[in-house]
Structure formats: C-alpha cells, structure tokens
C-alpha cells in the first residue's frame, strides 16, 4: 500500500509537469516571485530543487529498505516547506532538528561549498561507516560544518538543550568564552505537533519563556511542523495555534500557503528572534505523505478519500505549479531537475550500498566514552594560580595551617568548587537554590559572591531544564556543573542524561561533545526524612547509561580529588559524569565515637603534586595488611564497614575494607586483586537489593573473572524508606555487615 502511494504521488508530479503550460512572460532570475516578497525566482527554483532532492531520497530510502540494504523510512515527504528554514537560517545558527528535516538539511547544506548532502544521506540510510555524521551508528540529521548536532529524539527531548544553547550564547560572551558564533546567532529547534505535547518539550518552551521573563536573552526559534497527526492520532483543529499563540513571553507566527508566503513569514520570524533575542514560536503547516514510516499502513486509520486529499496538498507539486504559473521556471526546466535528481540519487544509492559497515565492538563504541588517562591526570593534578586563590579565599585558604584545616565533606566540596572555578574560567555552576542561598546543604555557599551571577546562578525548579542548560552551555564552550538537589529528582529528567547528553558523542562519531559534571545530592541515612524523594538509595537507572561515569565520595579529601578527576575528564575528553554526594555524610564529623573527629578531612592542596586527583579504577583501602576478608563498599556503606571492621577485629577477624569511589566504570581490576589476596569477599551495598546498586555486577565480575574464594553480599531491603527510626530497619547497618562477614567466613 505504501509503495503504491509513493508511485501515485510521483505520478501526480510527473503528470502535472508533462502537461503544464507556463505564461508567455518569464521572470528574470533576480526578480521577486511576486510584488512584496523577498523570494526571488532564482532562489525559489533552488529551493524547489532542494525539496526534490529530499523527496527523491525518501523514495530511495524505501527502495533500499525493500532490498534489505537500508534501515530508515521515516520520510520528510509533505514536510518539504521546511527547506525555507534551511535556506534562510545561517549555518552559524545552531539547529536541533527532528526526523522530517530532509528539505531543511538540503537547503542548509547548499550554503556550504563542496557539501554532498545527497550522498551523505544515502550513506546514513545504509548505515555505512563512511557516513560523515554518525559513521553508521544511526540515521540522524547532523553536520559539524553546518552546526547541526545530531538528534535521535522522537519525543522532542532535544528542546531543552536547544533552549540551553540559546540561553548560553550571551552568557558565554559575558565570560569571554569564544563560541565561534556571531553575536546575533540564534538557535532553531524543530518538532512535530504530536511530540510538542510531551512533558520534555513543554518544559523546554516554558524555561525559555521563564528566562526571557527574568530578562535573560534566549534567542530560540521553536518550529512546530504541524501535519495534524501523531502516527494515527489526529491533532485537534487549532490545537497548536490556540495553545501557543496565547502564551506570554513567546512571539508567535504561522507560515502557511504558497511557498513565497511561507518564505516571508519565516523571514519575519527569524528576524524577530534575531533582533529581539526573545523566544519565538513558528507554526509551519505541513502535510504528511506515505504514513509515519515505511511500516505504517495509513489505510488502517485513514480512508482512501482522506489519503488522496493529503496527497493533493503535496508541497512539491503545488510549489511547481506556483513557479510555473508565476513564470519563475518552465515545465521543461523543472522536469530536467526531477530527472537529473532521480538519476543522481539512483547512481549514488548503488555506491552507498557498497561502502563499508561497522564490523566490531571496538569501533562501534569508540566515541562513546573516550579514555585518555595521561591527559586527565595532567589536567587534574595541575597546580592552580596561587595568587588568584589568595584573591578569592583571602586568609581562609582551605589548607591554611593557621586555622583548623580538618573540615566536613560538604565544606571540602565547596572548597573544591571554588578552586576549580579559579582553575577553569569556563566552569559555571547552577541549579535550584545554588546561588544566593548557597545550596540546600550550603555546598555552593559564596560561589556567586566570588564569581558573579554569570558563573553561579539559580534556575527554575525543573531538572529537565537544568540538564538542558548543561547540554546547551557545553555545546558553546562552557563547562557546566549543574546541581540536582536530590537523587530522586533526577528521575523526572533522566532521559536528558541517558538519551541526550551521553548519546551525543556516540551519534556524532565524536564530532560533538557536551562535557559536564552533574552534582547530585543523594543516597540514604538522612535522619528524619522518609519517602524516596529525599532519601533515595537506588542508582540502578544511572549505572545502566552507556558512557556515563559515576563518582561517589565517602569523605572530604576523596570528594575533592574525585571532583578534580571528573572535571578533568570532562574538559579533556568531553565526558559526562555524575558526582553523587552522600547527603548523610555532608556534615558528618565522627567515625567511631561522638567527638572523635575522624571523618573530618584535610584539604588536598592543588600544587601539582601526584595524586591531587582521582580517576576511574583508583580505589581507597583501609587496613591493607588485613587478609581474612575483603569488605567492598562505597559512600555511607564504607563508613559503616569501617565501624564493622573494628567490631570484627575485637573478635580476631581482620577485615580489609575497599572504598570503590567509582560506581561506573566499576574498579573490577582493583577489587579482583584485593579479593585474591584475602580469599573471601563481602559486598556491602547500601542500595536496595534488586538492581539498585552495584552488588550484582561486582559478584558477577568476580565469578566470571575466576575468583574461587567465598563471596557474599548484604544490601538494604527492597522498599521505599520510611520516616524516622523505621528507616534503620530497612537500611544496611553496621550490624548487618558484621553478621554477613561472619557468615561468609563460616
């Protein structure tokens, strides 16, 4: 059915061009298509040629899929008026595009001399590793030279990062960061009328309006390509117009009608966004031909009459009619364009099918999480300008011997944030309450005072926006350190890490990066807090994200060195890391008895000495000479394990305790080495028992690695955390570790 409709639509165009008769008077190439428009005859014909290229590529995608040589059939057919955007936006206006952007990309690439959008797209269809965008990893619209970061979004999850990019343009300029973009650059973000209903899209649009209301320039052009259908579900009439045209702090435009009318409206929308620096919404009326994708049979939910009515609105056909009737082109000239484009696409398809594919794991994952430990170590251990440190800290240098230097983890993270913002002028810190208040737990105190509102600022209370700003700011050269105030809050927005931030290097073959270190306050053991929102002990959703690094400190000194390592990885290799801070340990002072002060830390001085930073694989070891049993843990569990080890030693059991520090990648090499020395292993995991923490993976890694000793795990119960003292019943305890250790040795 779908193939037949393709033939019908192509036949409609061919039949019209074969029988069309133009006027006796013809426009000169530089004449306007009609009085009052800025679209000239020459540009109109070029635009139509770009639309024909998009259409022919859609046909080729179906042919390739039918022959088992192609892997993509989501078509741009009926959406080709978006080529008007591709022709008018500059290649220095970052574009975040959804999947029906063939016409836009063809017109945009026309601006770049030597570009080959026809062949590049076919390489992408055939998943060839010669594809210059993703190197065969996925069919995405993207280009490094044209400033189009590749997106895989089908639910408009790219909207927050587009807003973040727009928001960050002026901020980078204030900080003297060279974005490589002109001062009047805007960002463009396209999506469909169905996907705009997704919470992520609405969050992005809301945050743009909020930023503008707070007098922050946010030049983002939202383009809703409204074909009035989401797969089989109709969009209510006027839904997009009625909702978005009435929103304050959002300029609204509609583009419909003939190509020249669309051209003029698009020009006005772009100019408005560029000059006012205000978020702007453009509803572009489109028509979807040939279903949602090649596998979608429209006749299952549309009548034959409805299908034919949509085909009659084919923009390629109607634009041809407009060009001929106004004398911008002759039927023969347009027939020649169609014939030539079809022949070029057919010939290029043959060649694309021959091009090599990805063939092994190593080359597939190469750009996902690049590793360069020597560079990381140099960057993380490098000294920081002491004069600037004195200027910022004054007499309160963290390592000042004249004052008490041993402080809590929360204080040490604050010191590390100050130092890293001194070291790297492009570091920005932001989130809910991080600015004037200094964070819910005081961890960001004085950052705004010392570095200004451009580098430390509050956002609206929305984690999706926070992570969108992080991605956008990273794309224009900033190094973001966003804060999520509680671990459970992340679940409202985790796809911004999983589906967007961590996938960017993978789907762009390393051409684009959005480095960041996401600070998350979390884990359990908070006295007086119940429920999962403020007392959450599950990191399973983070550990499954490809390419994401997760650092978890247990004490202040390690927190400083881990943070330096994570930032070095971001700065040098574009890595995305989560820095998970145990809330219960922020202000902990003692280890064994009240007042012993053994959980306070000296500050690791950033003087260039070896060991100033910690990188993945580097673990902490307590009691390295003990060999009866190895207790493996992290964060709160590490502190509990040390307490348990003292109890056990009173009974003659000498336990070595390992602090993993990194939960992704797991430090399995170090764990295996210490496990082999001890012969027995207990994994003490403070997270819930089922798939919430790393215990399963550690045990599996030991067994598969050939460990033959005794092994056991002890974990918290599979439940949300109740309020008050009841929490102690379900959370991993010191006594649990003691009991389990005796069992593994029994």
Residue 554 CA to residue 384 CA, distance in Å, equals: 25
Task: Give the C-alpha separation, 220 to 167, whole Å.
Answer: 8
Is 681 exposed, middle or buried (CB count within 10 Å of its CB: 0-12, 13-18, 19+)?
A: buried
pLDDT digits (tens, 9 = 90+) for 625-655: 999 999 999 999 999 999 999 999 999 999 9
Enter the DSSP assignment of 496: I
Mean pLDDT value of segment 43-63: 97
Does the pLDDT at position 407 exceed 80?
Answer: yes
Please tell me the predicted confidence (pLDDT) of residue 527.
77
CA distance 17 to 23: 14
Q: Are strands 187-192 and 251-255 parallel, antiparallel or unpaired?
A: unpaired
Q: What is the mean pLDDT of the chain?
A: 95
> Given pLDDT bands bounded at 50, 70 and 90, which one contains residue 535?
confident
The dihedrals phi and psi of 147, each to the nearest 5 degrees, come to 55, 55
pLDDT digits (tens, 9 = 90+) for 466-487: 999 999 999 999 999 999 999 9
DSSP annotation of 140 reads -
Minimal CA–CA distance to 222: which of 287, 278, 261?
278
Span 141-184, pLDDT tens digits: 999 999 999 987 678 999 999 999 999 999 999 999 999 999 99
What average pLDDT does the segment 333-360 reach?
Answer: 97
pLDDT tens per residue across span 486-530: 999 999 999 999 999 999 999 999 999 999 999 999 999 987 666
The fold of the 2-355 domain, in CATH, is: Rossmann fold (3.40.50)
- Sequence-ordered list of residues with C-beta below 8 angstroms from that of 214, at least 6 positions apart, any chain: none
Give the Cα separation of 218 and 608 in Å (integer): 40
Six token digits for residue 630: 């190895």
Residue ranges in 245-330 assigned as alpha helix (H): 259-276, 304-312, 315-325
Residues 6+ apart with CB under 8 A from 18: 331, 335
Band of pLDDT at residue 1, cut at 50, 70 and 90: very low
* Contact indicator for 561, 551 with CB cutoff of 8 Å: no
The residue that leads in pLDDT, 628 or 394, is: 628
* Backbone angles phi and psi of 615, in degrees to 5: -120, 165
Phi first, then psi, for residue 436 (nearest 5°) are -60, -40
Q: Say if residues 607 and 383 touch (Cβ distance below 8 Å).
A: yes
Residue 459 CA to residue 268 CA, distance in Å, equals 30
Task: Report the C-alpha gap between 236 and 56 in whole angstroms.
Answer: 31
What proportion of the chain, given as a percentage, has pLDDT over 90?
Answer: 92
What does the block give as tokens for 538?
Answer: 């599950």
Query: Would you say 725 and 694 are in contact if contact means Cβ atoms under 8 Å apart?
Result: no
The single residue listed with the structure tokens 């919470």 is 199
Looking from the CA of 717 toward its CB, the CA atoms found within 13 Å total 11
Extract the tokens encoding 94. Answer: 């970052």
Check whether 2 has a pLDDT greater than 70: no
User: Tokens in use for 252?
Assistant: 């609204």
> What distance in Å separates the CA atoms of residue 465 and residue 468, rounded to the nearest whole number?
5
Cβ atoms of residues 708 and 691 within 8 Å: no
Q: Categorize the per-residue pLDDT at 610 as very low, low, confident or very high, splitting at 50, 70 and 90.
A: confident
Q: Is residue 366 scored above 50 in pLDDT? A: yes
Domain 620-745: CATH architecture, name and number where available: 3-Layer(aba) Sandwich (3.40)
409 touches 601 (CB < 8 A):
yes
Paired tokens of 416: 């590390």
- Residue 296's CB is within 10 A of a number of other CB atoms, namely 18
Q: Are 229 and 288 in contact (CB under 8 A)?
A: yes
Given this chain, do its domains 2-355 and 373-585 carry the same CATH topology?
yes
Q: What is the CATH number of domain 373-585?
A: 3.40.50.970
Structure tokens of 407?
């402080």
Query: Do 663 and 552 touch, CB atoms closer than 8 A?
Result: yes
Query: What is the reported pLDDT for 16?
Result: 97
Cis peptide upstream of residue 649 (ω within 30 degrees of 0) = no
Would residue 534 show up in a list of annotated catalytic residues for this protein?
yes
Q: Is 687 helix (H, G, I), strand (E, B) or coil?
A: strand
| CA angle, residues 441, 442, 445, in degrees to nearest 5 | 160
Domain ranges of the chain: 2-355, 373-585, 620-745
**pLDDT one-digit tens code per residue, 204-234:** 999 999 999 999 999 999 999 999 999 999 9
**Whole-number pLDDT of residue 396:** 84
| Catalytic entry in 534, 587, 623, 626 | 534
């Amino acid at each position: 059915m779908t193939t037949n409709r393709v033939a019908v639509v192509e036949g409609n165009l061919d039949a019209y061009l074969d029988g069309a008769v133009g006027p006796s008077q013809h426009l000169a190439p530089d004449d306007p298509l009609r009085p009052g428009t800025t679209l000239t005859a020459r540009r109109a014909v070029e635009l139509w040629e770009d639309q024909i290229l998009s259409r022919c590529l859609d046909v080729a995608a179906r042919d390739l899929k039918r022959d088992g040589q192609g892997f993509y059939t989501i078509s741009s057919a009926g959406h080709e008026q978006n080529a008007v955007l591709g022709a008018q936006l500059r290649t220095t206006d970052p574009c975040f595009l959804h999947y029906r952007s063939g016409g836009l990309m063809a017109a945009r690439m026309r601006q770049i001399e030597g570009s080959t959008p026809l062949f590049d797209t076919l390489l992408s269809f055939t998943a060839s590793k010669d594809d210059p965008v993703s190197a065969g990893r996925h069919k995405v619209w993207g280009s490094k030279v044209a400033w189009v970061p590749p997106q895989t979004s089908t639910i408009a999850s790219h909207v927050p990062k587009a807003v973040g990019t727009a928001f960050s343009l002026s901020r980078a300029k204030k900080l003297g960061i060279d974005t490589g973009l002109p001062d009047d650059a805007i960002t463009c973000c396209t999506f469909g009328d169905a996907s705009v209903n997704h919470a992520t899209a609405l969050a992005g649009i809301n945050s743009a309006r909020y930023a503008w209301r707070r007098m922050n320039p946010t030049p983002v052009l939202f383009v809703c390509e409204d074909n009035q259908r989401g797969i089989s579900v109709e969009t209510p009439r006027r839904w997009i117009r009625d909702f978005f045209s009435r929103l304050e702090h959002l300029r609204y435009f509609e583009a419909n009608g003939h190509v020249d009318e669309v051209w003029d409206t698009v020009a006005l929308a772009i100019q408005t966004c560029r000059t006012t620096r205000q978020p702007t919404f453009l509803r572009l009326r489109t028509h979807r031909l040939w279903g949602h994708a090649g596998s979608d049979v429209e006749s299952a939910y549309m009548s034959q009459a409805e299908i034919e009515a949509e085909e009659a609105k084919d923009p390629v056909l109607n634009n041809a009619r407009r060009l001929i009737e106004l004398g911008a082109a002759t039927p023969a000239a347009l027939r020649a364009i169609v014939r030539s484009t079809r022949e070029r696409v057919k010939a290029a398809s043959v060649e694309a099918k021959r091009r090599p594919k990805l063939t092994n794991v190593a080359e597939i994952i190469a750009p996902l999480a690049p590793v360069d430990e020597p560079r990381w170590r140099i960057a993380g251990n490098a000294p920081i300008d002491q004069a600037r440190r004195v200027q910022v800290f004054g007499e309160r240098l963290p390592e000042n011997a004249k004052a008490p230097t041993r402080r809590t983890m929360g204080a040490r993270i604050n010191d590390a944030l100050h130092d890293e913002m001194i070291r790297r002028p492009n570091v920005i810190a932001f989130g809910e309450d991080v600015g004037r208040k200094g964070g819910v737990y005081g961890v960001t105190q004085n950052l705004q005072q010392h570095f200004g509102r451009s580098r430390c600022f509050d956002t609206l209370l929305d984690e999706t926006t926070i992570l969108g700003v992080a991605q956008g700011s990273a794309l224009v050269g900033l190094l973001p350190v966003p804060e999520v105030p509680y671990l459970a809050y992340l679940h409202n927005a985790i796809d911004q890490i999983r589906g967007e931030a961590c996938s960017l290097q993978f789907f762009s073959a390393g051409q684009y990066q959005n480095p960041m270190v996401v600070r998350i306050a979390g884990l359990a053991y908070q006295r007086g807090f119940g429920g999962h929102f403020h007392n959450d002990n599950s990191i399973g959703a983070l550990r499954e994200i490809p390419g994401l690094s997760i650092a978890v400190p247990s004490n202040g000194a390690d927190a400083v060195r881990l943070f330096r390592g994570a930032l070095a990885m971001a700065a040098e290799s574009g890595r995305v890391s989560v820095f998970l801070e145990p809330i219960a340990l922020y202000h902990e002072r003692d280890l064994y008895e009240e007042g012993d002060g053994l959980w306070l830390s000296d500050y690791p001085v950033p003087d260039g000495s070896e060991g100033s930073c910690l990188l993945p694989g580097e673990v902490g070891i307590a009691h390295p000479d003990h060999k009866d049993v190895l207790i493996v843990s992290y964060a709160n569990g590490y502190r509990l394990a040390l307490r348990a080890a003292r109890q056990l030693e009173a009974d003659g059991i000498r336990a070595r305790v390992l602090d993993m520090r990194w939960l992704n990648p797991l430090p399995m090499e170090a764990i295996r080495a210490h496990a082999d020395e001890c012969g027995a292993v207990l994994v003490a995991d403070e997270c819930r028992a089922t798939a919430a923490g790393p215990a399963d993976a550690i045990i599996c890694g030991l067994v598969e690695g050939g460990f033959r000793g005794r092994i056991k795990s002890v974990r918290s119960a599979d439940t949300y955390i109740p309020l008050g003292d009841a929490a102690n019943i379900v959370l991993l305890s010191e006594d649990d570790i003691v009991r389990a250790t005796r069992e593994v040795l029994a």
